[in-house]
Chain A
Amino acid sequence: MTFKKALALGVLSLTMGAAAHAAKVEGTGSSFAYPAYKAWSKAYYEETGHQVNYTPTGSGSGIKEVSAGHVDFGGTDKPLKSKVLAKKGLIMFPTAIGAITFAYNVEGVSGMRLSEKAISGIMLGTITYWDDAAIKAENKNVELPHEKILFVHRSDKSGTTFAFTYYLSKMNKQWRKQIGAKKVVAWPSTNRIAGKGNFGVATAIKSNAFSIGYVDYADAKKNGLDMAIIENREHAFVKPTPGSFEAAATFADLDPKKDFYANIAYPPKGYPVVTATFALVPQEGENSKEVINFFEYALTKKNSLIEKVGYVSLPETVIKKIQGYWAQKGLK
């Protein structure tokens, strides 16, 4: 009986000792944005004591949960069109720009170059071995093993998958016809495994030899994965670096009149597989003002924080547009 009493007392005292009222906001969705939101929410908490609890569950979940009113904001890499936003009573704005890399695990081969032809072949399942001619053609000074390519993709409904397949659709007619851009794909290649979240894919690539998959730059970098140098739209081979992402990002057309709807992958120059990540906030949500406060803090004061983790922060002009958008929507 003393055990029970002690427990009850313990529970009681904890409840008493709860922190003074601080804002508590729940968000979920894109795992692509997770490293950024985590960095921001940590700083926000340390500076203001307000809690922003973001769980990476995939863009599909982010869209669904915020539409259903289960969370205060959703993270998605797949933007929603204005009429959809209106129907769901949501507002949308970009928070960061990032890149999706081809991370791979082939021992002894760093700086692998992949042409559009090679990428298309691997994705469509027509190229199955690492020492295929199409891959060898661009990597003449490297010894490629005769091993099957293990493709790692997402198991959950992913905005990263969407952005990636958007890029593939623009880059390859057959992919566009056969599959298109989706959050969940029936991948043509047969030798494949799935990971949950960008982090899951990164972990899977790390632990499986001869694997290749699409991972956001932040997670690939954190995991120390090799990232392929790929052929871009103007047929130059581009290394995935913040510089090449920025070059690509300048072509992004983020317009508040369209609720910033934009798919920025496969731009004319720069690294081709880039995407913006967006926040979805309910227009009439009870915590929406808190959410906006958080993002305003993040974008105006801590924007550079996410560059360290591997994102391209939104340019000043866009941030001003976003603030105007918030005001226009009555949330600022």
Chain B
Amino acid sequence: MRLFMNRLFLAFSTVAAAIGLFFLGWILYTLCAKGLAGLSLHVFTHDLIEGGLRNVIIGQLIMSGVATLIGIPVGILAGIYLQEYGGNSKLTEFIRDLSDVMMSAPSIVVGTFVYAIVVMPTGHTSGWAGILALFILMVPIIVRTTDDMLKLVPVELREAGIAIGASKYHVTMNIVIRYAKAGILTGILLAFARVVGETAPLLYTSGSSEFWSTDLTGTFPSLTVSIYNLATMPDEEMVQLGWTGAFLLTTMVLIINLLGRYASNKTRR
């Protein structure tokens, strides 16, 4: 009887895994099949107004990139604070909790917040508003990974640094960070990957544009929002373009994730 239950359970578990993987495989297959069908050089050399994706891809990268650039110092510094200066006080734990809360906040709520403080007062959507929304989403991720990575640094390293008379600043920046570099880089890459795939926070902060633009003070093109718009068009061509965009987006995200894993694997000796 026990053996039977065991077999049953194992079978169930394997079937469950198969079901889950089946659906996920279906999605990937659809994405590749439909996305590749529309892939052509035209997509990369023309803007949305002419049936290409050039401006929205670049726009997405610009906004995510700038958000990351601003987020890196803030996130790392905050992570350093938590690990190096915070100790185990209640305040530190509290800030860690805050970081987790922010990480799990619905991205549409972040978009709503930025809409209220940037878009409404300025009266129009802008690339900067989008960047702010992405920044808020990504900082907690960088903070968390920096915090965790720094925790892994052996205490001896720090003590050795202090023993030879180096200042805390020096110890932290030149010794500790250097040691945790790869892990922190992973965190940055993962944070970048996460925001590059976001749609909801950009919907009403950066809006959508069919034209080439590098002017962050105005409505700014983004791949995700455009995919959303394209997919609901009755025009077959536009839907196809949406799939191509989705395929490119997913490829981008997966590559960045793989890079992150590669970097983190290098730390695990």
Contacts and interface: CB of A to CB of B under 8 A. Distances in A.
- The short answer to whether A and B are in direct contact, CB under 8 Å, is yes
Interface of A: 4, 7-8, 10-11, 14-15, 18-19, 24, 26, 41-42, 45-46, 51, 53, 55, 68-71, 195-197, 199-200, 202-203, 206, 219-220, 222-223
Contacts of A206: 234
B68 to A, nearest CB: 8
B66 A11 contact: yes
Contacts of B50: 42, 46
Contact of B211 (A11, A53, A199, A219): A53
Interface in B209-223: 209-215, 218-219
A206 B208 CA distance: 26
B183 interface: no
A68 B123 CA distance: 8
A18 B49 contact: no
B72 interface: yes
A70 B235 contact: no
Interface string B34-78: 000000000000000110000000100010011011001000000
Nearest to A50: B211
B174 interface: no
Contacts of B130: none
Interface in B61-97: 62, 65-66, 68-69, 72
A129 to B, nearest CB: 27
Q: Dominant SS at the B interface?
A: loop
Nearest to B125: A70
Contacts of A46: 50
B261 interface: no
A24 B221 CA distance: 14
B261 to A, nearest CB: 16
Contacts of B208: 55
B124 interface: yes
Contact of A19 (B72, B209, B212, B234): B212
A196 B214 contact: no
A39 to B, nearest CB: 11
B233 A11 contact: no
Contacts of A222: 234-235
Contacts of B211: 24, 45, 51, 53
B207 interface: yes
B251 interface: no
Interface of B: 49-50, 58, 62, 65-66, 68-69, 72, 123-124, 207-215, 218-219, 229, 232-235
Given A4-B72, A51-B211, A203-B232, A70 B124 contact: yes
Given A4-B72, A45-B49, A53-B211, A200 B232 contact: yes
A194 to B, nearest CB: 12
A26 B123 CA distance: 12
| 4 tightest A-B CB contacts, nearest first | A223-B234, A202-B234, A51-B211, A199-B233
Contact of B207 (A55, A69, A203): A55
Given A7-B65, A26-B219, A53-B210, A14 B232 contact: no
Nearest to A26: B219
B232 A197 contact: yes
Contacts of B124: 26, 70-71
Nearest to A197: B232
B214 A8 contact: no
A23 B209 CA distance: 14
Given A53-B209, A206-B234, A69 B123 contact: yes
A196 B232 contact: yes
A101 to B, nearest CB: 13
Contacts of A68: 123
Nearest to A65: B124
Contacts of B213: 24
